[in-house]
Amino acid sequence: MRTRIVLGVGAGIAAYKAAELLRLLTESGHQVRVVPTADSLRFVGTATWAALSGQPVTASPFDNVHEVPHVRLGQEADLVIVAPATADLLARAAAGRADDLLASVLLTARCPVVFAPCASAARSCWSPRPAG
């Protein structure tokens, strides 16, 4: 049985790097379902994700409501990877907000969830700020 992975994609220029991660995961034999945030689609579009994954792609919890994707995707996954995990997405996940499909998947996941934080070096939340 193939490992079922949800690849969550946050909105940031690093979203293009998630396309390479998706390629590597699918070439390794994993079944990958991409769940981008709506804003991440400004960087890499739905057609790219669908072509690379061979799976349908949506950012809305209201698409295919009869399949209950906001619950099913998280519960059926063997692994959830969020790359890039922007500061906004990390904050929403930490607060338990389910205001889009990806955040809902994170709340319902019964598997390990891996976050790959990414921020601009000039605006990094993780770098110490100079005193002044």
126 within a domain of the structure (yes/no): no
Q: Which domain holds residue 111?
A: 4-120
Which residue from 108, 93, 65, 82 is spatially nearest to 5, judged by alpha carbons? 82
pLDDT in tens, 109-129: 999 999 999 865 555 544 555
Q: Give yes or no for residue 106 having a pLDDT over 80.
A: yes
Is 64 part of a structural domain of the chain? Answer: yes
Instruction: Report yes or no on 132 lying in a domain.
Output: no
**Number of structural domains in the chain:** 1
In a domain, 128, yes or no: no
Residues forming a β-bridge with 79:
5
Q: Measured between alpha carbons, how far is 69 from 71 in angstroms, rounded to an integer?
A: 5
Output the domain CATH number for residue 94.
3.40.50.1950
User: Within a domain: residue 102?
Assistant: yes
Q: Quick one: pLDDT at residue 31? A: 96
